Structure 1
Amino acid sequence: MSTVRHLVMATVVAFLLDASAHAAAPFFEGKSVRIVVGFSAGGGFDTYSRLIARHLGEHIPGKPTVLVENMVGAASLIAANHLYKVAKPDGLTIGNFHGNQLLNQVLGRQGIEFDARKFEHLGVPVQDSLACALSKASGITTFDKLRTAKIAVKFGGVAPGDATYNTAAILKEALTLPIQLVSGYKGTAEIRLAAESGEVAGGCWQWESIKSTWRRALDGGEVTVVLQANPKPHPELVNVPNAIDFAKTGEARQLIKGGLHDPAAITRIYVLPPGTPKERAQTLRRAFADTMKDPAFLADAKKSNLDIDPLTGEELERLVSGLFKLDAGVVKRLREILK
Structure 2
Amino acid sequence: MRRIFLKSAAAAALAITTIGFGSTASADEVGDFYKGNVIKWIVPYDPGGGYDKYSRLIIPYFEKHTGARVDIVNLPGSGGMKGAVEIFNSPSDGLTVGIINGSAMVTNQLAEIEGANYKVGDYNFLGRIVADKRVMVASTLSGINSYEDLIDNGKAEIIGATGLGGSTYVDAVIVGDVLNIEQRVVHGFDRSGDIRTAMLRGDVQAMWGSLGSALGGIEDGDHKVILHGEKNPTGVLVGIPSIYDIAMGMEDGARKVTILESWEALSAVGRPVAAPPGVSEDRLTFLRNAFDQAMNDPEFLAAAKKGKRELSFASGLDMSKIAKAATVLEADVEALFVKAIRGEI
Q: TM-score, normalised by structure 2?
A: 0.88
Q: How does 1:1-339 map to 2 (within 5 A)?
A: 17=14, 20-60=26-66, 63-85=67-89, 87-100=90-103, 101-211=105-215, 214=216, 217-247=217-247, 248=250, 249=252, 250-259=254-263, 261-339=264-342
Mapped contact 1:106–1:323 kept (Cα < 8 A): no
Q: State the Cα deviation string for residues 294-335 of structure 1 (Å, max 9, x = none).
A: 011011111111011111111101111212321111101111
- Structure 1 window deviating more from structure 2 (22-31 vs 46-55): it is 22-31
SS in 2 for 1:271: strand
- Which stretches in structure 1 are left out of the alignment for 5+ residues? none
SS in 2 for 1:169: helix
Q: State the Cα deviation string for residues 19-71 of structure 1 (Å, max 9, x = none).
A: 844212222222221221111221111111111112211011xx111122111
Mapped contact 2:14–2:282 kept (Cα < 8 A): no
Distance 1:180 1:134 in 2: 14
SS in 1 for 2:269: coil
Distance 2:245 2:12 in 1: 52
Q: State the Cα deviation string for residues 252-279 of structure 1 (Å, max 9, x = none).
A: 22221112x1111112011101111221
Amino acid of the structure 1 residue aligned with 2:53:
T
Distance 1:303 1:105 in 2: 36
Amino acid of the structure 1 residue aligned with 2:244:
I
Mapped contact 1:55–1:297 kept (Cα < 8 A): yes
* Per-residue deviation, 1:115: 1.3
Distance 2:100 2:257 in 1: 27
Mapped contact 1:98–1:161 kept (Cα < 8 A): no
Following superposition, which runs of at least 4 residues in structure 1 exceed 4 angstroms of deviation? 8-16
SS in 1 for 2:244: helix
Distance 1:45 1:287 in 2: 19
Q: CA RMSD in A?
A: 2.2
* Per-residue deviation, 1:234: 3.6
Amino acid of the structure 2 residue aligned with 1:227:
L
- Residue 16 to residue 194, structure 1, CA distance change in 2 (3 Å): closer
Distance 1:245 1:161 in 2: 26
Mapped contact 1:228–1:242 kept (Cα < 8 A): yes
Distance 1:10 1:118 in 2: 34
SS in 2 for 1:137: coil
SS in 2 for 1:252: helix
- Structure 1 window deviating more from structure 2 (119-128 vs 25-34): it is 25-34
SS in 2 for 1:265: helix
- Residue 193 to residue 64, structure 1, CA distance change in 2 (3 Å): same
* Per-residue deviation, 1:16: 7.2
Query: How many percent identity over aligned positions?
Result: 27
* Per-residue deviation, 1:167: 0.7
* Per-residue deviation, 1:282: 1.0
SS in 2 for 1:177: coil
Amino acid of the structure 2 residue aligned with 1:27:
F
SS in 1 for 2:164: coil
* Per-residue deviation, 1:15: 6.1
Mapped contact 1:129–1:206 kept (Cα < 8 A): yes
Mapped contact 1:140–1:146 kept (Cα < 8 A): yes
- Structure 1 window deviating more from structure 2 (147-156 vs 127-136): it is 147-156
Amino acid of the structure 2 residue aligned with 1:305:
K
Mapped contact 1:42–1:189 kept (Cα < 8 A): no
Amino acid of the structure 1 residue aligned with 2:321:
R
How many aligned positions are there? 325
- Which stretches in structure 2 are left out of the alignment for 5+ residues? 19-25
- Structure 1 window deviating more from structure 2 (116-125 vs 102-111): it is 102-111
Distance 1:203 1:174 in 2: 16
* Per-residue deviation, 1:10: 8.2
* Per-residue deviation, 1:11: 5.9
